[in-house]
Amino acid sequence: MENIKFKSVSDLIREFPNEQTCIEYLEKLRWDGNVISPFDPTSKVYSCKGNRFRCKNSGKYFNVKTNTIFDNTRLELQKWIIAIYIITFEKKDISSVQLSKDLGITQKSAWFMIQRIKKCFEV
């Protein structure tokens, strides 16, 4: 999946039709089958319900979004993936107003996403 080239937002939506496919893709990309705790990389990790994991040494729960640009947001991963595509691959800068319209979210949320994505990718 990592080598997929997307030519449009429609391609992204076909590849990532729901939250679970996005989670599975990010888990493969981040851990490739060997989940590592962000709290203690030496710790054993337990798989829990709801795409969560538990670090044995710290007792803390985490998921694929922990310590990433997606952390502590309620926005769906599909919207994040589309926003990343638009911001990093489009030739022109996009305003938070336009991104909010494209994704069907508030302008404030769009601005927040743009800031995190630009900082992460240094766009």
> What DSSP line would sit under 74-93, residue for residue?
-S-HHHHHHHHHHHHHSSS-
Q: Give the whole-angstrom CA distance, residue 109 versus residue 96.
A: 8
Span 10-63, pLDDT tens digits: 999 999 999 999 999 999 999 999 999 999 999 999 999 999 999 999 999 999
* pLDDT for residue 69 is more than 90: yes
Percent over 90 (pLDDT), the chain: 79
Extract the tokens encoding 93.
Answer: 């800068």
* pLDDT for residue 1 is more than 50: no
pTM: 0.87
Residue type, 52: R
Crossing angle of helices 96-103 and 107-121, rounded to 10°: 110
* pLDDT for residue 72 is more than 80: yes
3-state secondary structure of 43: coil
- Say if residues 110 and 103 touch (Cβ distance below 8 Å): yes
* pLDDT for residue 4 is more than 70: no
3-state secondary structure of 54: strand
What is the mean pLDDT of the segment spanning 83-107?
Answer: 91
Distances, alpha carbon 88 to alpha carbons 74, 92, 117, in Å: 22, 10, 8
Any idea which of 81-90, 95-104, 105-114 has the lowest mean pLDDT?
A: 81-90
What is the mean pLDDT of the segment spanning 68-83?
Answer: 95
- Residue 16 is given by DSSP the state -
Q: Give the whole-angstrom CA distance, residue 72 versus residue 20.
A: 18
Percent over 70 (pLDDT), the chain: 96
The reported pLDDT for the residue numbered 30 is 96
